[in-house]
Structure 1
């Protein structure tokens, strides 16, 4: 039976839906992120040129885009909004959080957390702890993060190359199999990647070209069977292209990492450091940009959890993804 493994890490909460020992869906929620379902008071900030939308500022300073607001929403106006999409990062323009105007009698409050959302769908949720077995890693968490960083997903007989554009995410299927079986395997792998990487919005899947209608239908059927989230799609056309639409309430894992690579690696290193066995000072060696993304409150949280001092060691010879964490007895002996 599938279950959600949830880890309340330093700076973010991670979750993976695991079935038969592998991750089929994954979620990451950064601490302090503006959540879907949040109801807050907003103040008109500006009209967005070229569209029926306004920019509004919440009381905490966060900016949201409000589509098709009522006429009374104009300069100087204050009104109540509900967040319907979180901010989408990782592209040249990015997308601000989206909200809709609601009645002033609606109760103000923060939207449900990742843990609360998962618990509400009826699937078993198992909390994980750093001092216990690393079940996320056993299920393939590091491999999943590598897919999210690179956009490269391998499967038997082929590879997916996932590219993000301003208008859609494109998944290109390539491999050594004959076109018809490669299309089926690639469609199945693409569906799996959509679930694991939390891809959403408009998604184009470029399968091998085949003039056999039955082969194209077999690829579409394989895609449908492997999808674990609600979606709509087109048929596979004669050029092997299929488009899928998936609800997109928040950024994909690829967008989350691309939006701030240094922060993403910093939080990953906190995760590794938390699991280093005592005794000794925790030393985190990383590229300068990664070390600079560390926050004092996160260092303090790591120190409290690990029961040891934390020291960052910037290393200009390292690339952004080459950090490491280890214990050294030097400072604990002084």
Structure 2
């Protein structure tokens, strides 16, 4: 029976699932590369308003970040080492810059998921179907429960959750709490999660929902607001990196390309691996990723763009040599 954190080190993507009593209770997704929390990198301070301890820094490759806790003597144009405290997060039309702060620590890469999660065990594959189920929930951004559903909308500022259903308002709000708590863990959500519950006029009903949330998130490090008269609750936790929702919702082609590579690693039998996908997905398959797929599988690999395929429907198959 699976227990604890299990990690798949995929091509272009690391995946982790936390198991408790044989059930998947939390998950993480990481796309290596770029500026990630835990990394210490050399950069240039390109902007520092007079009298401020904040500014902007630039790094090799063109990335820019926000900087805080700058020393008074720091000057524009200075070469400095920075510790990354928050990754960049984006949506279709804009990105929230990564955040860094000056440090004297030596340069180092960001930790892998296996290095950052307690007692994580690296595996070839998760138990059948578990990752697919969690990922499908993130792609749909909808979690159904008896009598209602949760609709998730990730933005750079927060994740907004709408509670919808046909139950009476108090029953609907209470029924939504456990699925909400599970989804927060499965999607790896951090930062601000703003939940729009049904409007509950009675103060006793609002307090009942508050108590249910407190119990459901008892082991989740967070702060939250009490439900207001409009049914609105904010759950606030530490935010360091994009959640699975951010990855699959804001870059569906990139997410699908990584999914395709995961499927390709699992094919069995003789022949060459053919990767078929929408053209927007095919162009995201880098030469390095394809070379790594060849190395891991010991097979020849080819790609086939197919505009008729949905972005979220790539497939890998074996074809005769």
What is residue 304 of structure 1 aligned with on the other side?
Answer: 295
Which residue of the partner structure matches residue 276 of structure 1?
Answer: 267
Q: Secondary structure at the match of 1:258?
A: helix
Q: Is the counterpart of residue 128 in structure 1 residue 123 in structure 2?
A: yes
Report deviation, 1:225: 2.2
Once the two structures are superposed, residues 159-195 of structure 1 have per-residue CA deviations (whole angstroms, 9 ceiling, x without a partner) of 0011124532211111222222211121222222111
Which residue matches 2:109?
110
Root-mean-square deviation (Å): 2.2
Structure 1 stretches lacking a partner, 5+ long: none
Shift of 1:84: 0.7
Q: Is the 2:53–2:72 contact (alpha carbons within 8 Å) kept by the matching residues of 1?
A: no
* Aligned-residue offset at 1:32: 2.2
Contact 1:265-1:321 within 8 A present in 2 as well:
yes
Distance 1:260 1:57 in 2: 24
Structure 1-normalised TM-score? 0.88
Residues 262 and 293 in structure 1, CA contact (< 8 A), matched pair in contact too: yes
Sort the Cα spacing of 1:245 and 1:107 in 2 relative to 1 into closer, same or farther, 3 A. same
Describe the superposition over 1:231-283 as per-residue Cα deviations: whole angstroms up to 9, x where unpaired. 10011122211111111011111112234221110100110111111211111
Q: For the residues of structure 2 that align with 1:250 and 1:71, how far apart are their CA atoms? A: 29
Contact 1:187 1:220 in 2 (8 A): no
Separation (CA, whole Å) in 1 of partners of 2:92 and 2:280: 20
For residue 93 of structure 2, what is the aligned residue in structure 1?
A: 92
Q: Which residue of 2 aligns with 1:267?
A: 258
Equivalent residue runs for 1:192-203 within 5 Å: 192-203=182-193
Find the residue that maps to 1:98 and give its secondary structure. strand
Residue 34 of structure 1, CA deviation: 2.5
Q: Deviations over 1:217-238 (max 9, x none)?
A: 2222222222243110011122
In structure 2, the partner of 1:154 is 144
Moved more, 283-292 or 168-177: 168-177
SS in 1 for 2:96: coil
Q: Distance in 2 between matches of 1:23 and 1:90?
A: 28
Partner of 1:173: 163
Q: Quick check: 1:39–1:80 contact (8 Å CA) kept in 2?
A: yes
Structure 2 Cα separation of the partners of residues 295 and 200 of structure 1: 30
Q: In the comparison of the two structures, how many residue pairs are matched? A: 318
After TM superposition, the structure 1 stretch with the greater mean CA deviation from structure 2, 27-36 or 234-243, is 27-36
